[in-house]
Structure 1
Amino acid sequence: MLREIEIPKNDEQEPLENAGSVSGFISPAEDYKDRRLHIAQRIVSDPTNTFYFEAINDEMKEHGITEGTIIIVDRSKEIMNGSLIICNVEGEWLNRFIVRKNKQIFLYASKQKPPIEITGRDIEIFGAVTWHCVPQKSKYVRPSRL
């Protein structure tokens, strides 16, 4: 279900000053007019338990998470074997996959980095990653208007 969020209008980008009064009367279809979609309506299922982090390195690049990526974390989601999580291991915040093998628990980042065994260590699992939003690199974005 999508939630409605009131988004402030940018009057400079509106094509018509008052689209409902162009013909002199308010359209009967005004009640069915599409509202703008706010990205939070799509990616946040539980606003109370949703938090945002920013990746500060490329350790999870294999999984599409690079420096500057916004990571959306939901604390209400159940953590399962193979979940992508945000956790704090002995004071260090990490974004990793949590994997249980037999009775041991590991955190994985990439094939190049060895896994971290966390069995019996001081660890706080903050929540499960539900989305990540990767910024486009500036070399692909046109700097001027068309």
Structure 2
Amino acid sequence: MKNKSNLTFFSIDASENKQTIFIDTGISAGFPSPADDFKENRISLDKELIKNPEATFFARVSGESMTGAGLENNDLLVIDRSLEPSHNKIAICFLDGEFTVKRLKVKNNTVWLQPENPNYKPIKVTEDNNFVIWGIVTNVIKKV
């Protein structure tokens, strides 16, 4: 199986500051109570999901190497390039001419790109690789 995923990148359209209705009482996954009133507020998904607009991008996942981490084909990732990469973070990496999303594993000064699907093998990063950690995944947006 292929170890790398192709990603489609999107930048933020900061010209619009749209807000969506937010129901602040929590949504019951059990039986609804007809007596519950709810308070309607406004929420900005930009403010909720984006901490540093100048360094934030979106990318769509293509592939299945990270399904165990909840990242599935066509999910939309929120990526912050200003965050420091560290052990166990999910990162967007540029490896030998291709972008991939993997979990960073750092052991004894060696970096491994760990897929979260047993059908894919970890990738050991060596000095021979053209390798850059491009950004850290902060959120995933799914369609249901």
Tell me the TM-score normalised to structure 1 length. Answer: 0.68
Residue equivalent to 1:132 = 140
Higher normalized contact order (CA 8 Å, seq sep 6+, divided by chain length): 2
Query: How far off its partner does 1:111 sit?
Result: 4.8
Residue equivalent to 2:52 = 46
Query: Which of 68, 75, 78 is 1:62 aligned to?
Result: 68
The structure with the largest strand share of the pair is 2
Query: How far off its partner does 1:92 sit?
Result: 1.2
SS of residue paired to 2:43: coil
Deviant stretches of 4+, over 4 Å:
none
After superposition, give the CA deviation of every residue in 1:74-115 in whole Å (9 maximum; x if it has no partner).
011111111110011001110001111113210001251221
Which protein is bigger by CA-based radius of gyration?
Answer: 1
Gaps of 5+ in 2: 1-15, 21-39
SS of residue paired to 2:42: coil
Within-5 A mapping of 1:80-91? 80-91=86-97
Give the AA of the match of 2:135: G
d(CA) in 2 for partners of 1:118, 1:6: 40
Query: Which of 67, 72, 81 is 2:78 aligned to?
Result: 72
Indicate whether 1:119 and 2:130 are aligned.
Answer: no
Residue equivalent to 1:20 = none
Q: Is the 8 A contact 2:95 2:131 kept in 1?
A: yes
Q: Work out the number of aligned pairs and report it.
A: 108
SS of residue paired to 1:62: helix
